[in-house]
Amino acid sequence: MKSAFQPKPDVCLLLEGTYPYVSGGVSTWVHQIINALPEYQFSLFFIGSEKAANVKFKYTLPPNIISIEEIYLHEPARGGGGSGRAPDDDCEELMGMLRAFLMEPSAGPAETTAFLAIARKIMKVSKVASFDAVWNHPTVWGLVCDIYEKHAPEESFLDFFWAVRALCEPIWKIVSASEQVPPARMYHSLCTGYAGFAAGIAASNYESAFLLSEHGIYVRERVSELQKARWITDPPVIRPDLYRQPAMLRLIWIEFFKLLGRFAYQTANYVTSLFENNARTQVEFGADPCRIEIIPNGIHVPDFYQLRGKRRAARQLNYGRKNVGFIGRVVPIKDVKTLLKSARLVVNVLPDTQFLIAGPMDEEPAYAEECQTLVQHLGLQDHVKFLGSVKVHELLGELDLMLLTSISEGLPFVVLESYAAGVPIVSTDVGACRELIEGRPEEKPNFGPGGFVVPVGNAEQLADGMIRILTDPLLGDQMGDAGRQRVEAHYASQTVIKRYRQLYQLTPKDFSRTGLGPLHRVKSDTTSNVPAVRPTTNVISR
Amino acid sequence: MAGIGFELRKISRSGSLESIFRSYAFSGVISSGPWIISILSLVFLTRVLHLFLSKESIQLFSASVTHCYAFSLILVGPQQLVLTRHAADKFFAKKRDSIFPACYGALTLTAVLALAVGGIFFGTMVDGTVLYRMSAVALLVMVSCIFIISNYLTALRDYKSVVWSFFFGYAASCVLAYLSAKVYGEDAIILGFAAGHGVLFVLLMLCLHREFGAGGHSSTANAWDFLGYFFRFPMLMACGFFYNLGIWADKLMFWWFAESRQNISGSLYAAPIYDTAIYLSLLSIVPGMAVFFLKLETEFADRYQAFFDSIQDGGSLSDIRQAKQNVITTLRSGLAQLFKVQLLTTALLVAFARPIAESFGIGATQAGIFQVTLFGAFLLVCFLSMLTALFYFDDQRGALLASAVFALTNAGLGFLTIKLNEAWYGFGFVVAAGLGVMIVAHRLNARVARLEEMAFHR
């Protein structure tokens, strides 16, 4: 299937504003997976907003990246299609398709088919004429006016017009650039949005497989961004029920990103998600539950082996004295204040407990100061220590228990790392925390709880969970051990890499034949064969 | 352009009949331009000079002046619209400082070009004394420079000074021409006339300097940056050229190819059978032009601005379309007024063509041609006004098409009618103007129908 002599890459990664120009969680993950799979050849298709001057790669590119293509969606058009007049009949046909698509929307696969047909038409027209030429065609004006009259007859037409143009131009650019996308066996997009759209088009052009992996949920992020966006002004109408009608522009942009999301989820042969809650959200935004697999992030577990011994020794030394850890920035989203309240409750019962708060204090200084004042008010000066930024390895060896009080999380690495060192967890029920602590339903046999999960913002229950673990060292050890087993089984980087190695081999037919379907089956396959070979890189992204 | 429109609006709002009449008069003076005044002063001068000069020297004088005006219009034509565009852009970009330097640049360029053309024509192709030749070249340069300046005049608020300058300048031209002819003999008429134009030039420069030069010259303003506009707007350049060529094409044909033409001196010709008729009928468009120009610069400009404001201020599509409807209504009523006024004027003139022709001392044949060209002038003023509206809507392609067709038809049919007989004289002009009207009306309709769409196109 794969040959070193073929110039064609095995996998083309579609990257929207991430690797290799921008560092961050997704970029680190991409860098590590490319390094860990040297047997595959990769191409990168980078989609950016505007090309900044003198940007440099943030990573040293591994040798198995054989090509990089870039397009910028908000650059003034340079080339990007033909230069001739817009052909009348093609424009009319295209607008007819768009009119039907927008005025009588269809759902499900029909929508995807219609959208693909439109993309094909754009591909044809863009060979002859530029975006501007087609955009200035009278049929476009007619359609824009009709949509406006139907959906937003009261809004500023100027804003509406430019919004619609701003929606259409990137789509045009991506479609007309789809010939720049190298023919690959598999298109792997790291989000929905523009990259997911480009991947769907490329996969359908070359009849290749399309794999969609999301760390966050792109659509959800765009929606919450747009709900807050200041550049759109809401109409100043206050209705009797005090409901403030959001500006139509907000809704249009939101619907647009939802549409791109549905398109990517529908055209993808397979979707991966970091944890169950995210997978559920993907289904909400249009993904097919039968084509989703949970592939979490992994850590390199052997790094933590020696910590276990160190921790045992440390606990013998300060016998009777308990250490509770918290690793994270001191910011509102981590809810440090609830942590402090629960600390007071724990100290009431176990006066020998110490809380070690490790994480930068300078991100929101006002909040950090409030937390320190709260420590004074609660009389916890002798029990709470703000350590600032500390290396995780140094702290983990000292702890009896790790605390996580966030009000929002993805798949927190701090839980994986605590587990790897055998430290039990008390956490709020956010992101992947419940499945990390209780195990996913498919985990057979279940390793047992790795700690306690409690509702967000509930100091009493947090304290309750901590007291139970701290007063019962045996329970704590049991839970730490369950966590360790869970991480080794499901969250080891080798497991993750092995799974992607398998997925990268599949053709669209493979995906539809095996269905690969129900997550648990796939899951148990991968967990049973943990390879003995140590992968070349550590697939931690932090 | 904002300035003059604003002032005219103030007058027409004050409401009394007399003030309305005055604003019509002013807009007539400014819109119909110096060339109409020059015809008037020429007619006046020739009648006065008749008293003591020979027929030949009067013919030489009037043919020289006519050629100077024709050449300078064709020479300045390609620059006019481009310069207007440049000034409007700078005005919009609030860089008033760079408007005046560009005027200097254009004047320099024009003076050099006029000197070259005049030097070649009057220096090598016309016989006469050195004094006469040099004065003729000087007149050509002066007239060209005055045309460049008048391009900027509509932007001035102090229109009264402008009108006075024109009045005083042409009066000086007549008086100086008369005096120099009396004192130094017939060769010096044109020197006096050119000197009068020099006075006019200086006066206009003073007017311009008072408003635009007030802030001093900023060092960043480049006198030559308008040259880039010739490459950016080649269609405007071509349009200005064809339009001015079109106005003169039939006369050039008669001068060069008619059998009835008179050789004045060297390559200098006149065609008295046609010339007087066409000049007189061109004078007839003043009322129509005045009416339309006033409407355009005041109410229409307001409504057009309101149309853009309704887009910029976040109006809904129906608001924008309402504003567009107002633009159309104003344009329509402006054109209707033009038709009414001009139709009345033309009808009266056609009816009294014979007595008028007699009073100017031209024969029955010319009176017939006069009636035909009067009708042509009626079409011409329609053409001109709609062409101006087309410039407002920035349809450069349409304007170019119309003016090119007008110029080529006027030349081609002018040549053809010469080869036929006197009964056909003037019909080439009528058909050319008619074709121009048809094209420009068609483009205007198409443009207006898509007005709001065009506003959104880049």
CA distance A295 to A272: 6
Instruction: Please answer yes or no on whether B317 and A153 come within 8 Å at the CB atom.
Output: yes
User: Shortest Cα distance from B312 to chain A (angstroms)?
Assistant: 7
Residue A431 tokens, joined? 């992101």
Chain A residues near residue B458 by CB distance under 8 angstroms: 132, 136
Question: CB pairs under 8 A, 24+ apart, for B205-209?
Answer: B205/B149, B206/B165, B207/B153, B207/B156, B207/B158, B207/B161, B207/B162, B207/B165, B208/B100, B208/B103, B208/B149, B208/B152, B208/B153, B208/B156, B209/B100
Instruction: Please answer yes or no on whether B453 and A161 come within 8 Å at the CB atom.
Output: no
Half-sphere exposure of A512 toward its Cβ, with a 13 Å CA cutoff? 8
Residue B405 tokens, joined? 């067709």
User: Shortest Cα distance from B29 to chain A (angstroms)?
Assistant: 40
In 3-state terms, what secondary structure has residue B94? Answer: coil
Residue in chain B closest to A165 (alpha carbons) equals: B456
Answer yes or no: is pLDDT of A446 > 80. Answer: yes
Mean pLDDT of the region A264-288? 92
Of the listed ranges A222-226, B86-90, B331-335, B352-356, the one predicted with least confidence: B86-90
> Which one of B450, B456, B457, B458 makes the best mutation probe of the A interface by having the most chain A beta carbons within 10 Å?
B456
Residue in chain A closest to B320 (alpha carbons) equals: A157
What confidence tens digit (pLDDT) does each residue in A237-261 have? 666 666 666 778 888 889 999 999 9
Residue among B392, B395, B356, B349 nearest B372 (CA):
B349
Tell me the pLDDT band of A7, cut-offs 50, 70 and 90. Answer: low
> B199-213 as b/e, with b when 16 or more CB fall inside 10 Å?
bbbebbbebbeebbb
CB atoms within 10 A of CB A75: 13
What confidence tens digit (pLDDT) does each residue in A315-359 have? 777 667 899 999 988 999 899 999 999 999 999 999 999 999 998
Cβ-based neighbours of B202, under 8 Å, separated by 6 or more? none
Chain A residues near residue B453 by CB distance under 8 angstroms: 138, 141
Instruction: Please answer yes or no on whether A158 and B457 come within 8 Å at the CB atom.
Output: no
Mean pLDDT of the region B435-452? 93
HEC per residue, A399-431: CCEEEECCCCCCCCHHHHHHHHCCCCEEEECCC
> A257-295 as b/e, with b when 16 or more CB fall inside 10 Å?
bbbbbbbbbbbbbbbbbbbbbbbebbeebbbbeebbbbb
Tell me the pLDDT band of B97, cut-offs 50, 70 and 90. Answer: confident
More confident residue, B327 or B275: B327
Chain A residues near residue B317 by CB distance under 8 angstroms: 145, 148-149, 153, 157
CA distance B144 to B116: 12
CA distance B336 to B333: 5
Residue among A341, A351, A346 nearest A320 (CA):
A351
User: Shortest Cα distance from A139 to chain B (angstroms)?
Assistant: 11
Chain A residues near residue B318 by CB distance under 8 angstroms: 153
User: Shortest Cα distance from A53 to chain B (angstroms)?
Assistant: 26
Tell me the pLDDT band of B238, cut-offs 50, 70 and 90. Answer: very high
What confidence tens digit (pLDDT) does each residue in B4-24 have? 444 444 444 444 445 555 555
Instruction: Please answer yes or no on whether A141 and B316 come within 8 Å at the CB atom.
Output: no
Within an 8 Å CB–CB cutoff, is residue B316 touching chain A?
Answer: yes
More confident residue, A329 or A526: A329
Instruction: Write the CA distances from B113 to A370, B116, B141, integer angstroms.
Output: 79, 5, 8
Cβ-based neighbours of A339, under 8 Å, separated by 6 or more? A326, A355, A357, A403, A405, A462
Chain A residues near residue B314 by CB distance under 8 angstroms: 155-159
Tell me whether the omega of the peptide bond preceding residue A445 falls within 30 degrees of 0, making it cis: yes
- Cα B59-B64-B68 angle, rounded to 5 deg: 150
Residue given tokens 């049973």 in the structure block: A528
More confident residue, B101 or A257: A257
Backbone angles phi, psi at A48, to 5 degrees: -120, 175
Instruction: Please answer yes or no on whether B311 and A158 come within 8 Å at the CB atom.
Output: yes
What percent of chain A is predicted at pLDDT more than 90? 51
For A157, which of B317, B450, B458 is closest by C-beta distance? B317
Chain B residues near residue A138 by CB distance under 8 angstroms: 450, 453
Residue B271 tokens, joined? 């065609």
Answer yes or no: is pLDDT of B346 > 70. Answer: yes
Report DSSP state, residue B214: T
pLDDT at B230: 87
Q: Which value does ipTM take for this structure?
A: 0.72
Q: For the purposes of burial, counting CB atoms within 10 Å of the CB of A419, is it exposed (0-12), middle (13-18) or buried (19 or more)?
A: buried
Q: Measured on CA atoms in the order A276, A278, A279, A280, is the torsion positive or negative?
A: positive
Residue among B196, B160, B150, B147 nearest B42 (CA):
B196
Chain A residues near residue B450 by CB distance under 8 angstroms: 138, 141
Residue among A525, A436, A494, A90 nearest A302 (CA):
A494
Contact between A207 and A186 (Cβ < 8 Å) = no
Instruction: Please answer yes or no on whether A153 and B314 come within 8 Å at the CB atom.
Output: no
pLDDT at A404: 95
Tell me the pLDDT band of A537, cut-offs 50, 70 and 90. Answer: very low
Half-sphere exposure of B190 toward its Cβ, with a 13 Å CA cutoff? 29
Instruction: Please answer yes or no on whether B317 and A141 come within 8 Å at the CB atom.
Output: no
Give the number of residues written for chain A. Answer: 542
Instruction: Please answer yes or no on whether B457 and A161 come within 8 Å at the CB atom.
Output: no
Of the listed ranges A114-118, A386-390, A428-432, the one predicted with least confidence: A386-390
- Cα A331-A335-A336 angle, rounded to 5 deg: 80
pLDDT at B6: 45
Instruction: Write the CA distances from B178 to A120, A433, B67, B181, B403, integer angstroms.
Output: 79, 105, 20, 5, 38
Chain A residues near residue B456 by CB distance under 8 angstroms: 141, 161
Strand partners, A247: none
Strand partners, A426: A403, A452
CA distance B389 to B392: 5
Backbone angles phi, psi at A345, to 5 degrees: -65, -40
Residue A195 tokens, joined? 């990259």
In 3-state terms, what secondary structure has residue B313? Answer: coil
Answer yes or no: is pLDDT of A3 > 60. Answer: no
Report DSSP state, residue A447: -
Query: What is the rounded average pLDDT for all residues in chain A?
Result: 85
Answer yes or no: is pLDDT of B50 > 80. Answer: no
pLDDT at B284: 87
Query: What is the rounded average pLDDT for all residues in chain B?
Result: 83
